Amino acid sequence: MYMFNKCVKCDLQAHLVEIFNVEPHEELIICKYYEKKLVDFCNAFKPSMPKSVLGTACMYFKRFYLNNSVMEHRPRIIMLTCAFLACKVDEFNVSSKQFVGNLPEDSDAQDKILEQILEYELLLIQQLNFHLIVHNPYRPFEGYLIDLKTRYPLLDNPEMLRKSADDFLSRVALTDACLLFTPSVIALTAILSSASRAGISMESYLMECLSLKDSREIMARLADGMK
């Protein structure tokens, strides 16, 4: 039965591609568009949504479309389902009514969208192989700021790095970096990028406090990619 369903799915994908002539790079463009929409939705969410929820939702969306096509599953509904599930997993306590209340549609349309979200939720969980815990770079980023405050007196005000580093992490959320690098590397690269923009050298922090001489090449590659 499994092989039959898999064959039917492959035939359907081929048929859809033949009808609409959607190339892989075109699917990628669609995915990137809805990733940006997802970030905008999370940033505008009321009550204010923690960044960890945003990061988790973005990761769910990327992972879902690694194995699925936008021609099979509507990206907007998947996008909203990812955000809805991320709220639950990261324990951001909002009701389903509150969640869809952030949509621009009227109440009847919101109810229909909520039904679709609930229908897709189990499919999303299955496609994620039930691996729902996502380690985002936001927590290690806060850890590095605390470390700078306690162990690196050469930097008077580590908080000055926050805004630029936050912007860096927001840009990272729209790339595949979270699939390629560990959260701690991304967080540290955000710190280094922010320091570089401010004209601050972090060389001694890397060498003396973190002993990361061997990891500099990896972080430089990530920083170059973000530029």
Q: Are residues 121 and 148 in the same domain?
A: no
Q: Helices 107-127 and 75-89, interaxial angle, to 10°? A: 70
Domain of 95, in residue numbers = 2-127
CA distances from 95 to 39, 43, 114, 133, 224 (A): 20, 18, 11, 21, 41
Tokens of 187: 């967080």
CATH of the domain at 146: 1.10.472.10
pLDDT given at position 4: 43
Q: How far is CA 131 from the centre of its chain?
A: 15
H helix intervals, 65-215: 75-89, 96-100, 107-127, 138-151, 162-172, 177-180, 183-197, 203-204
CA distances from 204 to 148, 151, 198, 200 (A): 12, 12, 16, 11
Q: Are residues 11 and 116 in the same domain?
A: yes
What is the spatial distance between Cα 124 and Cα 116, in angstroms, rounded to a whole number? 12
- Asked whether residue 23 is assigned to any structural domain, the reply reads yes
- Asked whether residue 180 is assigned to any structural domain, the reply reads yes
Residues 172 and 226 sit within 8 Å (Cβ to Cβ)? yes
**H helix count then E strand count, the chain:** 12, 0
Q: Are residues 10 and 101 in the same domain?
A: yes
Q: Are residues 79 and 167 in the same domain?
A: no
Q: What is the pLDDT of residues 53-80, one digit of tens each?
A: 999 999 999 999 998 989 889 999 999 9
- Asked whether residue 132 is assigned to any structural domain, the reply reads no
What's the whole-number average pLDDT of the chain?
Answer: 85
Domains in the chain, number: 2
Report the largest interatomic distance among the alpha carbons of the chain, rounded to a whole angstrom. 65
Residues 121 and 84 sit within 8 Å (Cβ to Cβ)? yes
Q: Are residues 53 and 155 in the same domain?
A: no
Q: Are residues 65 and 160 in the same domain?
A: no
Residue 101 pLDDT exceeds 70: yes
pTM of the complete model: 0.81
pLDDT given at position 164: 93
What is the spatial distance between Cα 90 and Cα 129, in angstroms, rounded to a whole number? 18
- Asked whether residue 133 is assigned to any structural domain, the reply reads no
Of the pLDDT bands very low, low, confident and very high (cuts 50, 70, 90), residue 87 is very high
Mean pLDDT computed over 79-83: 97
Residue 93 pLDDT exceeds 70: yes
What is the spatial distance between Cα 58 and Cα 52, in angstroms, rounded to a whole number? 10
Q: Are residues 27 and 101 in the same domain?
A: yes
Residues 198 and 161 sit within 8 Å (Cβ to Cβ)? yes
Q: Are residues 59 and 157 in the same domain?
A: no
CA atoms within 13 A on the CB side of 92: 23
Q: Are residues 75 and 121 in the same domain?
A: yes
What is the spatial distance between Cα 140 and Cα 120, in angstroms, rounded to a whole number? 32
Q: Are residues 8 and 112 in the same domain?
A: yes
